[in-house]
Amino acid sequence: MSSTTMSPVKVGIIGYGNSARVFHLPHILSVPELSLVAFFQRARASNDDKPKSSDDYPNCKHYHDFDKFLADENIELVVVTTRDDSHADLSIAALEAGKNVVCEKPLGQTSEQVLRMLEAQKRSGKILFPFQNRRYDSDFRTVQRVIQSGALGDIHEMALHYDWDLPAWIAGMGDKPYTPGAGMMFGIGCHKLDQALALFGRPSTVTGFYRALRPGAGDSKIDDTFTIVLHYPKSGPHRNLEVVVKCNVINKTKHQFAYFVRGTKGSFLKLGEDPQEAQVQSGMKPSDEGYGEEDEDIWGDLASEDRANDSQVKRGSLWCGKVKSEKGSWGMYYRDVAKAVRGDPVVVKAETSADGIRIIELARESAEKGRSMVFEA
């Protein structure tokens, strides 16, 4: 069946926390190629004021028995939005039940878990989609377009940041001992690593550093601030490229740093962040006018030897000006998922997320051993 004439893919959601309500459901519902049909929650709805899927979606089926949920032949795509430590087992069970799966990040807490997930995908003949929605952020779509345009020439250095200024939730990390999957490398690093891998592919070596800057962290090895350096071979398509993925939890600045790219013919600087999360939390819908669009004051700055757009003016030997940001669309992620279920190529692959998890492990090992680690496929 052509994806242009396909019937909607029927979706079942596991979980109904903030992840489901902010990062998934608004965007699933915005895509006509998907149809929401069921929810699974282990606990029955309580009498408190917490949001309940059965109240908010009365026309869907609501399961409290996981086996019955998986046995529902109407469900074609299962979306796992539960705690990180449940991602692997729930995804594997759904794949083995003959369902396609979207799994929240991180795909797994260890490479061993992810390998089991990839093996289940292969056995089942279904598709495991990592929820790398940040590929569809306004800022990343913009920097990707600038790089692909050739305006910067050959890229030799890039920095990708995701920074905060002591958000309230950071205190919850406390001074607990480290367990696999904990910390911001897994929490947000997996998204930025996915972006780097989408742009440049696998590195040759990895160097990592991490810190815990939050108040009360003590000697905890659960990182809230990190630097991961991806080194690329001295020959090949990305010769001598160095990519730095960073997160810092203390930033006193008007606009957070996002991207900086250096090439042989130009550079591109991008501040700010994609607006979609804040827009959904404020009650905005993906179909509303202005959704996914950045304010002009955080459009990126391009300096290049050749004029790339009409906003650029000559400054010495370079053309300098703003680059209008692309519109962000997490719904586009789900549209690509639906099309892949119906036979189109997979855009965001689980194998790429597996590489990201391995890089995080190598980065932590690098930090502990004080040396760079070889990335082996």
Could you tell me if 279 and 216 are in contact, meaning their C-beta atoms sit under 8 angstroms apart? no
Per residue of the chain (377 residues), give pLDDT as tens: 555 577 999 999 999 999 999 999 999 999 999 999 999 998 776 666 778 898 999 999 999 999 999 999 999 999 999 999 999 999 999 999 999 999 999 999 999 999 999 999 999 999 999 999 999 999 999 999 999 999 999 999 999 999 999 888 888 899 999 999 999 999 999 999 999 999 999 999 999 999 999 999 999 999 999 999 999 998 888 999 999 999 999 999 999 999 999 999 999 999 999 999 999 999 999 999 999 999 999 999 999 999 999 999 999 999 999 999 999 999 999 999 999 999 999 999 999 999 999 999 999 999 999 999 999 97
Distances (CA, A) of 24 to 13, 136, 151, 271, 374: 9, 13, 35, 25, 35
What is residue 267's predicted lDDT score, i.e. its pLDDT? 99
- Closest CA relative to residue 247, chosen from 158, 183, 182, 168: 183
Domains and CATH numbers, the chain: 9-131 (3.40.50.720), 134-328+358-374 (3.30.360.10)
The predicted model scores a pTM of 0.95
Longest dimension (CA), the chain: 68
CA 79 to chain centre: 15
CA 210 to chain centre: 20
What is residue 49's predicted lDDT score, i.e. its pLDDT? 72
Residue with tokens 């910390």: 183
CA-CA distance, 71 to 49, in Å (whole number)?
Answer: 31
- Per the structure block, which two tokens stand in for 190? 């997996």
Q: Which region holds residue 67: left if phi is over 0, alpha if psi is between -120 and 50, else beta?
A: alpha
Return the number of other C-beta atoms located less than 10 Å from residue 236's C-beta: 11
Helix (H, G, I), strand (E, B) or coil at 32: coil
- Per the structure block, which two tokens stand in for 158? 């890039």
Quickly list DSSP for 185-236. Answer: IIIIIHHHHHHHHHHH---SEEEEEEE--STT-TT----SEEEEEEE--SSS
Could you tell me if 100 and 129 are in contact, meaning their C-beta atoms sit under 8 angstroms apart? yes
CA-CA distance, 99 to 76, in Å (whole number)?
Answer: 5
Helix (H, G, I), strand (E, B) or coil at 184: helix
Could you tell me if 22 and 279 are in contact, meaning their C-beta atoms sit under 8 angstroms apart? no
- Closest CA relative to residue 259, chosen from 115, 77, 137: 137
Distances (CA, A) of 300 to 58, 83, 134, 199: 44, 35, 17, 18
